Amino acid sequence: MDLGMELEQSAALDAETKIAEAPGDHKAELRLWLRLLATNTLIETEIRRRLRERFDVALPWFDLMAQLERKPHGMTLSELSQRMMVTNGNVTGLVDRLLAEEIISRRQHKSDRRSYIVSLTEKGRRQFARMAKEHEDWIADMFGGLSHSEFSALTKLLGKLKASVRSAVADV
């Protein structure tokens, strides 16, 4: 997704030279979002391509496995859907397919009969370990153009942005 409003690359727009904007002018915010979006899409497309090429695995599968890997005792489908930031129905379908491949297993919750716990099988753990190793290198490779300090600055700023978005979404 790239909302196509990418503004002129006027290099002059920084904190020093920026003139007070007209009220209701949100070009800077828009520009920032578009840049975030484009960057994210670039990375995601490339990761998807490499996962398919190297491991014949779809990105949502990797995502699901990554979640389970951190929780050796497994988790419920609801928790999974929250962590993956997708709907419950989506997770139901994914779980079905990963079960069929014996990458994950599923058991009834002990006390809540509505609920299931899914976790990685041994096969799933092995496969994920191989993928995670390369995946880390891909990311490091793509991010290699940034210095140490740019890194930590960007991480910090994104944390702030995330918090800002969260609070705006929360109190609608």
Partner DNA sequence: ATCAATTAGTTTAGGCTTAAAGTACTTTCA
Partner DNA sequence: TGAAAGTACTTTAAGCCTAAACTAATTGAT
What minimum distance in Å lies between the beta carbon of 53 and DNA? 8
Site for its own copies in 92-131 (CB under 8 A): none
Site for DNA in 28-87 (CB under 7 A): 45, 48-49, 52, 58-61, 76-79, 85-87
Choose from DNA, its own copies, none: what does 58 bind? Cβ within 5-8 Å by kind: DNA
Residue carrying structure tokens 């929250």: 82
- What stretches of the chain show up as alpha helix (H) in DSSP? 27-55, 59-69, 77-84, 88-100, 122-142, 148-170
For DNA, how many residues bind (rule: CB under 7 A)?
A: 32
| Alpha-carbon span 27 to 15, nearest angstrom | 14
**In which order are the strands placed within the sheet that holds 104-108?**
75-76, 116-120, 104-108
Site for its own copies in 64-83 (CB under 8 A): 66-67, 69-70, 83
Using CB under 8 A as the binding rule, whether residue 45 contacts its own copies is answered as yes
Sole binder of its own copies in the list 4, 23, 72, 89 (CB under 8 A): 4
| Alpha-carbon span 89 to 95, nearest angstrom | 10
Sole binder of its own copies in the list 40, 78, 88, 92 (CB under 8 A): 40
Residue carrying structure tokens 């209701």: 24
Choose from its own copies, DNA, none: what does 90 bind? Cβ within 5-8 Å by kind: DNA
Site for its own copies in 132-151 (CB under 8 A): 136-137, 139-146, 148-151
Residue among 147, 144, 78 at smallest CA distance from 117: 78
- First-last CA distance in the chain: 24
What minimum distance in Å lies between the beta carbon of 61 and its own copies? 11
What minimum distance in Å lies between the beta carbon of 86 and DNA? 3
